[in-house]
Structure 1
């Protein structure tokens, strides 16, 4: 059996995703308790307790979700279809010590968002996420440059599948990039266009491009996350943050009503490029579905925190930086992956 470093895994002959790999402890752990471990870090100047950021989807992150995630030490990006921000600004609601509304740290915008909104976000030092499916686009780069030249603000752009254009994003002023195309559970981009590679390979390619070219930009693993274990793998591979969509979908704090059907509770979940969002028959790259109601988002965040700390105790790592330095991987056969799944 071959044990891979990140460098070796990056040169693997096939495109890999989370289910294809597993972390492998290679030393005796000296950690007595998970309480000795810290998963605190900093992202674009914001101190966080867990490296999790929510997807700016209209069925995932509104004002309520972003505020709750902030209180839990994570970051939520309010979706660009949410009208609540304009109402808050116009009503002069109370802001917190960071001059942000209700503790919210990040808000997404589109390429055609009003200048007045961008100005107000910049004034309050919100992180701005230019929410597009393809960051390798001159319009995205131009928008990023325009905002950076005019305002002192941190900007997230997305998405990319490899590091080939990473320097162009940095030169345009991007502070963070969402890595992954086609890996979302309700994203049909790869099916519709044939574009995209496995999430593991995407992260590694961008990570080593950043390292080799000595670029200053944060990496957000975006797509394909199904469990706390996938979050651990994404961080170990070199991501600074992990974006969650489906894992947060269906929780109490997501926008939308709880629906009762067949004696079970559900909530709506859909991609940002689905018909339900676009409301017109143009090219659709997202699907709509229903997910079981999960209760408070706090439970999901706590389970991720526990899983991450537990993994780090196996790997003998006291910090996220140490996890990234020590990480060793194996590539799984399909049977090996299936063997590891809980049996009913």
Structure 2
């Protein structure tokens, strides 16, 4: 791939965001009712290619159950307020009413409460008792400490999620998590990420992960480009990781690792483009934080917003547009892509003549920068 000269001493590869590309219609069309958007990871089948992001503004036990009932997968943040407080309601209400200048300091105080193992067990069992697939997320830093509690609670899918997760973390202060050994010894499938490059994703696939989250600081509540100068353009990152999946499939003799877009897809057209670039599913944060049932009450934030030393995110006002069912399955209340997201994906696939997600990953795309202003 050609590089662009930034200056005499530095060259860089051109990368593309979702706004830079568009899906191309084909000669064949289909009825939307004949299109399947279901997917399966390990033994778990889902009617919708959607994971609700493990963020306190998005997933509570109640919303995890509702997303599961609708056909997706809700992932609970096992280091969030739900595992720090018996009743996180007052803390969530306070965060939603904080003035901007007080938000970071007060969130640090609220999240300073310790994670309670018994609450991890209770929350996961509440989801399990509802009869839906159970998924919980830990950061790489806390996985060693709490993984056994999570597994004993009956989690179906274990998610290890960070801003970036490496299979080769180097530390002189503590022994890093050995992902390959950990995943090999675990009895449940593991989804791990984020990764944003071909090489990083390939190394994560070699650990035995069932799925790789693709993204780095691209979400609505992230500010890593501002604070660290690091950013991964979503369309290019997904395409790169999809290439790693293809090559690992050959290398491993047929083992398929699922690619899950994480960040950068907050409206339906971006979900469509994520799958077109090679994603098997999408992890949605801001899109679901807009639901009337969302714990964030119209606000959205992630763990980066209350980091003790260097926040790389913030609380953002995303508003409320409808119920989880309206957001995922419709009917749409407008043409802005925030509701009936799965209906839009189904119609895009029908318009281009594809019947399932894996086929749609082969759709033609073009570089067509778009500025809605």
Cα separation, 1, equivalents of 2:143 and 2:262: 26
How do residues 191-340 of structure 1 correspond to structure 2 at under 5 angstroms? Answer: 191-214=226-249, 216-256=256-296, 258=297, 267-275=298-306, 278=307, 280=308, 282-302=309-329, 303-325=340-362, 327-333=363-369, 337-338=370-371
CA shift for structure 1 position 225: 0.9
Alpha-carbon deviations, 1:88-140, whole Å to 9, x = none?
735995775xxx66524210013343768422432424211112211125279
1:37 is aligned to: 35
Q: 1:54 to 1:218 in 2, by over 3 A?
A: same
User: Are 1:113 and 2:159 an aligned pair?
Assistant: no
Could you tell me which runs of 5 or more consecutive residues in structure 2 were left unpaired when the two chains were aligned.
3-11, 87-116, 330-339
Alpha-carbon deviations, 1:228-271, whole Å to 9, x = none?
11111111111111111111113122224x4xxxxxxxx22113
Cα separation, 2, equivalents of 1:93 and 1:125: 8
Q: 1:116 to 1:283 in 2, by over 3 A?
A: closer
Q: 1:283 to 1:128 in 2, by over 3 A?
A: same
The alignment's TM-score, normalised by the length of structure 2, stands at 0.75
Q: 1:111 to 1:319 in 2, by over 3 A?
A: closer
Cα separation, 2, equivalents of 1:141 and 1:312: 42
Partner SS for 2:199: coil
Cα separation, 2, equivalents of 1:74 and 1:230: 18
CA contact (8 A) 2:158 2:191 kept: yes
1:132 is aligned to: 162
2:191 is aligned to: 156
The alignment's TM-score, normalised by the length of structure 1, stands at 0.81
CA shift for structure 1 position 298: 0.8
Cα separation, 2, equivalents of 1:304 and 1:330: 22
1:86 is aligned to: 118
> What is the root-mean-square deviation in Å for CA atoms of aligned residues?
2.8
CA shift for structure 1 position 166: 2.5
- The runs of at least 4 consecutive aligned structure 1 residues that moved more than 4 Å come to 90-96, 114-117
CA contact (8 A) 1:111 1:143 kept: no
CA contact (8 A) 1:251 1:295 kept: yes
CA contact (8 A) 1:86 1:117 kept: no
2:182 is aligned to: 147
Partner SS for 2:198: coil
Cα separation, 2, equivalents of 1:239 and 1:300: 20
CA shift for structure 1 position 67: 0.8
How do residues 48-87 of structure 1 correspond to structure 2 at under 5 angstroms? Answer: 48-80=46-78, 81=80, 82-83=82-83, 86-87=118-119
Cα separation, 2, equivalents of 1:285 and 1:242: 22
Aligned pair count reads 309
Could you tell me which runs of 5 or more consecutive residues in structure 1 were left unpaired when the two chains were aligned.
1-6, 259-266
Cα separation, 2, equivalents of 1:331 and 1:197: 17
CA contact (8 A) 2:221 2:314 kept: yes
Partner SS for 2:158: strand
Partner SS for 1:234: helix
Cα separation, 2, equivalents of 1:243 and 1:198: 16
CA shift for structure 1 position 172: 2.5
